[in-house]
Amino acid sequence: MGDLWFGLEDRVFVVTGGSRGIGLEIARELLRQKAKVVICARKQDGLESAKNELQGGDSLLALQAHVAKEEDVNRLFDAAVEKFGRIDALVNNVGMNLPTGALVETELGMWQKIIDSNLTGTYLCCRRAGKIMREQKTGRIVSVTSTAAHRASPGMNIYGIAKAGTEMMTKNLASELAPDNICVNAVAPTMVKTGFSEPFWSNSEIYDMVVKNIPLGRIAEPEDVVKVVLFLASDGASFITGQTIVVDGGSAVI
């Protein structure tokens, strides 16, 4: 990916949802930059295959954890600190969606599942990491949100609400944690080529419809998101906090 980053060597990163998709690519690039990386996911088999693929040796810790479960989050951060001694950056990459209809027809259980993984999980990780970083008097938090946070779209209503909540959490945390030299930002991509959105981009009719609204003429690759996340976690972004960087190929301007 080229040597674009500033000072990631030996930094300790917790990347939630690192077993596939964007999170896996963030972990891969971090290891290439000689950072220490902790990834988590709900499913052990996904973590095992990520571990085999990444070959991170002693610089990689892969732990099963559901980010919306407080005890799992505590266990994850305790293990990260025990192994690497500190946490320099948290990347809240976990995200999921389920098929939903109109909000007024939605069951409470569906609302809770989507809010839990996308918003409550991010809150629990920020809370735990924020306390550790406050003691260290330094840290970075970067959350992956979505352009679904910025406009209403069918099937993405609860997901978009959760991501919009994460962007507001980013502003509040940026303000609260700035005195302790902790920067908090978000990255909001449009459709990215991962398994998460495959049902859409693999359908040529849907793909063409989506790309019609993207001036750069394609959907995002995971790498497009990785670059911005790592920039925000690097020394290059030391005076940026409370921002959401939109990675949408120009959609917002047309």
Task: Give the residue numbers annotated as catalytic, written as ranges.
Answer: 159
Per-residue binding letters, 2-21, with ligand NAP (x by CB under 6 A): --------------xxxxxx
3-state SS, residue 10: coil
DSSP-assigned letter for residue 192? B
Options 38, 91, 142, 144; binder of ligand NAP; rule CB under 6 A? 144
Rounded to an integer, what is the distance from CA 225 to the centroid of its chain?
9
In the sheet that 12-16 helps form, which strands lie side by side, from edge to edge?
A: 60-64, 36-41, 12-16, 89-92, 139-144, 182-189, 244-247
Interaction between residue 211 and ligand NAP (CB under 6 A): no
CB contact at 8 A, 188 and 244:
yes
- Placement of tokens 């924020």 in the chain: 130
Q: Is 100 in the site for ligand NAP (CB under 6 A)?
A: no
The yes or no reply on residue 93 touching ligand NAP (CB under 6 A) is: yes
The answer to whether residue 142 forms part of the interface with ligand NAP (CB under 6 A) is no
Instruction: Tell me the C-alpha distance between 50 and 15, whole Å.
Output: 13
Minimum CB separation from ligand NAP for residue 198, in Å? 9
Nearer to ligand NAP, 127 or 137 (CB): 127
Task: Find the binder of ligand NAP among 46, 139, 160, 249 (CB under 6 A).
Answer: 46
Ramachandran assignment for 177, one of left (phi > 0), alpha (psi -120 to 50 degrees), beta (any other): alpha
Residue 191 found at the interface with ligand NAP (CB under 6 A): yes
Task: Tell me how far, at minimum, the Cβ of 53 lies from ligand NAP, in Å.
Answer: 12
Of 65-73, 103-111, 127-135, 168-176, which segment contacts ligand NAP by CB under 6 A? 65-73
**Per rule CB under 6 A, is residue 117 in the interface with ligand NAP?**
yes
Determine how many CB atoms are found less than 10 A away from the CB of residue 72.
18
Q: Facing residues of 13 across strands?
A: 37, 89
Q: Which positions touch ligand NAP (CB under 6 A)?
A: 16-23, 40-43, 46, 65-68, 93-96, 117, 121, 144, 146, 189, 191-192, 194-197
